Amino acid sequence: MTFPVIGVVGGGQLARMMAPAATALGFELRVLAEGEDVSAVSAVPATPVGDYKDLQTLLDFAEGLDVMTFDHEHVPTDHLRALQDAGVNVQPGPDALVHAQDKLVMRAAIDRLELPNPAWASVADVDALVRFGDETGWPVVLKTPRGGYDGKGVRIVASAEEAAEAADWFAAMSPLLAEAKVEFTRELSALVARTPDGEARAWPVVHTIQVDGVCDEVIAPALDIPLEVAAAAEDAALRIAAELDVTGVLAVELFETPGTGAGFLINELAMRPHNTGHWTQDGSITSQFEQHLRAVLNLPLGATDALAPVTVMKNFLGGDNQDLYSAYPMALATEPAAKVHCYGKSVRPGRKIGHVNLMGSSTTEVDSVRRRATAVAGIIRDGRVTTEEPSAIFEENA
């Protein structure tokens, strides 16, 4: 018997973090990298460089694979269908993945499943945007259906007069997605995994804190969330996975809206390991990266129990310190219990380059755990001790 070969399209940090799980299980991991300097190259020996938008490149990469999966959702849907037609085992398949690739398709599916959705519309021009805003109230959120991430492809339109400034977006892509701006108390994430045979497991619902459209911090589990809201969010994620035939990890990002409906609205979907699941590397029996590999291979899924009453994940972006390793002695001495995950990327301001996980023995310690994780991340980012405090825990309408 030979162990399976898994191909990952995209060489970012998610592919890089699949490597330890693949190694532990004896799987061979291959990565189709965008360039010779992307994150996964130093962690995965087999990393051919190629253009994921070129079908022949994808077909060549698929040779010898038992399954093909993804570090991102940007492979053209038509290419994914062509790969399937050629006999490639693509997980998740294009019929599922299109809901993470195209926000208009996703919104329509959430409506079809009768799950909590903000008011939305497909708008083809400025006039349609103005009509939507006048009907639902200003401001509204305008999004590009494809290609946006980490706050990119999103703009707040405050008034009918301001809508005219979005004309260049419609010239580049039409239709666009218009959404009512949601009044929320915090953002949540429901992370699940599902196999092709339909086995599914969920991790605890977590609280995510965004800064400038980028996930800055995760608190797992989300504290002070009503049990019925957490259960409904988990059930919604599991239902989406089942109804859309998702395989692998699915992240359902949510707005918490106390006192209204189910207590949350669905924001976005991601069908791959996700930033809001990085805490599972050290805080769960089975990490999202191991679970994703098990799921796409149709293997039994691992337990998703949390290993501590609270785990904090703190991202660090590129800052003043170009020599990250030089800060390790100070950072690791500051907090010996911290687990540092660095992505092997060159440092650029605002670029995700790593994260810190830190567990606490009690939920009452959450403020202390957040401060300590923030301190470690800040030392690595800046090369020195800073006085930075964690982000406000309730970033209303962040």
Three-state DSSP at 393 gives: coil
Distance CA 230, CA 232 (A): 5
Counting Cβ atoms within 10 Å, is residue 91 exposed (0-12), middle (13-18) or buried (19+)? buried
- Is 357 one of the annotated binding-site residues? no
Question: Is 267 assigned to a binding site?
Answer: yes
Residue 179 assigned to a binding site: yes
Q: Is 302 strand, coil or helix?
A: coil
| Ramachandran sector of residue 147 (left: φ over 0; alpha: ψ -120 to 50; beta: rest) | left
Question: Can you list the alpha helix ranges (DSSP code H) found in the chain?
Answer: 13-25, 55-62, 77-85, 94-101, 103-112, 126-136, 160-163, 167-172, 227-243, 280-283, 288-296, 328-334, 366-382
Crossing angle of the two packed helices 94-101 and 77-85, in degrees rounded to 10: 170
Q: Is 339 annotated as a binding residue?
A: no
Q: Is 356 annotated as a binding-site member?
A: no
DSSP 58: H
Distance CA(109)–CA(272), nearest Å, equals 18
The amino acid sitting at 191 is L
* Buried b or exposed e, range 101-129, using 16+ CB within 10 angstroms: bbbbebbebbeeeebbbbebbbbebbebb
Rounded Cα distance, 220 and 284, in Å = 10
DSSP summary character for residue 53 = T
Determine if residue 181 is labeled as part of a ligand binding site. yes
The answer to whether 345 is a known ligand-binding residue is: no
Where is the binding site for ATP, in residues? Answer: 103, 143, 179-182, 187, 267-268
Where is the binding site, in residues? Answer: 103, 143, 179-182, 187, 267-268
